[in-house]
Chain A
């Protein structure tokens, strides 16, 4: 699985470097006495592309033993991971309705109950007590306008 994640990560970095190179077209590279705002992005994005290609070749060429996964214990909890990412995504999106602590409490409850598999009463307690603590710290103690 590490190899798959590694390739996805390299793909994302390559796409990022290409988009930076494309976005640098309108930026001045250098003049007589110094360099322009496009110098660093172009040079670094090119270097990063080269490194990504080298790394991808090394990864593809690696023998199964070299790319073997060092997992001696439990199998990876991929379903839990996907569920956690989905809960975070929906939770953050629901914050656009106006409240922060409400969605945070829901995220806490769902992660504790649905992902880490604690009993519902314990998850409810963790969610309520953590949200209350966060409210006390950020809103009451620090006086930040978070609702």
Chain B
């Protein structure tokens, strides 16, 4: 563990060049604004920033993306507290307590406490990431193709079970992602699959897909819904953001509990920040001696979910960096970024590309400090930026998507792919299909197919290889249990609702 800390400090020293610091500060600001805009969440933020990383070195590029990822988690709370409009799903819980505080004239305090809780949650998650990711990676090198395939299947099946209320829609989205990933050359057999034009020989470009899905898709949905934010002109004094000793004492334990829950839930594939915020809110309400205050501006109900929200980001990076397995749409895009930078995701990543991984983590730590400062000191700037940008959001995001898509290969083909997936993204949003399983399947499938093929070859055609060793069998059993839970989840919930009347 001391090695991890020394690696981190050395990476921080290397990272502290003025250009890098300015970039990560800007990434945090952009992420905060993107996170605050309804419809544009972490996945959209990372997707829109992806073209900017072309030509950057991996550490700078990954720091930009993780900085935006972290920033979106801070930003979601702004519009939740100020105008009761959550910027993203995890910020729904923030609005439950934050907006009543705003109505009571404690908006500054709500913003201050949520910023501090976000900072501590993020820092807690980062400490866990720094201490545990290398340990997991150390053991993960002993895993073989069958175990890897089952871990990937576990991630996919958990996201199907946990994504929304309709598992069939999540299944269809997953299958769609898998089929899109099969287009192009099959690297094992050398066969070209479904290559109806030469541009498809390398497959459908992942960056073009995510820019279309999260950028143009959201723009089209926003145009149809006529989304408008009435930000008003809230005025705060700096002193209002700073909680007093009693308020800090009141929120200390909830922040700690939220941080722990957020990190633990963030690690689980498919769970993520949204579930972490709801679980931590319910926990605080259960633990409170005065639960009737909840929903009316309870500080604990604001602090704990905010800490959980930000702790879930480093938590979700643990399986990504240690095992190469993403657990959410956002981390799946990060996995795509790792591949784009020529890195080899998996347990060897922390050994072969230690400088890049530690540089990225150092960037996250620095981003978290910048975000605390900016989210307390620059609130008026954020509010004004949101007021101006949201009026012209659709046109600006659209332009960014089109130029970004062209920058992938300097050809029109990727722009058409982006535009087509923009329309698909719009339809998925309208028909309420989750995009997380689609992206996860798109990124994981080529790797999973490869591991499955290697496993079957190892077993000489025998599928019993997935039950051959105790570890493989326990992973397989876990996958089967998750699938069984997915099947009985709906009847179980209906039964539970009936019993509770």
Contacts and interface: CB of A to CB of B under 8 A. Distances in A.
Nearest to B169: A55
Number of chain A interface residues as a range = 35 or more
Contacts of B224: 76-78, 80-81
Interface of A: 1-2, 5-6, 8-9, 12-13, 16-17, 19-20, 23-24, 27-28, 32-37, 40-41, 44-45, 47-48, 51-52, 54-55, 58, 73-74, 76-78, 80-81, 84-85, 88-89, 91-92, 95-96, 100-101, 104, 107-108, 111-112, 115-116, 118, 126-127, 130-131, 134, 137-138, 142-146
A6 B172 CA distance: 12
B369 interface: no
A27 B193 contact: yes
B164 to A, nearest CB: 13
Contacts of B400: 134
B194 interface: yes
A5 B431 contact: yes
Interface stretch (B69-77, B339-347, B411-419): B411-419
B55 interface: yes
Interface residues of B, number: 61
A82 to B, nearest CB: 10
Given A2-B430, A104-B402, A145-B410, A76 B225 contact: yes
Contacts, number: 183
Given A77-B223, A145-B410, A108 B175 contact: no
A64 B392 CA distance: 36
Given A5-B431, A131-B399, 10 more contacts: A9-B430, A16-B179, A80-B226, A84-B219, A101-B403, A104-B402, A112-B395, A134-B399, A142-B56, A146-B407
Contact of A48 (B54, B172, B220): B172
A6 B431 contact: yes
A18 to B, nearest CB: 11
A16 B420 CA distance: 14
B398 A146 contact: no
A78 B432 CA distance: 18
A109 to B, nearest CB: 8
17 contacts: A5-B427, A33-B457, A35-B452, A37-B188, A37-B191, A40-B182, A41-B194, A44-B182, A48-B176, A58-B168, A74-B225, A88-B216, A91-B402, A92-B402, A92-B412, A108-B396, A144-B54
B431 A9 contact: yes
B449 interface: yes
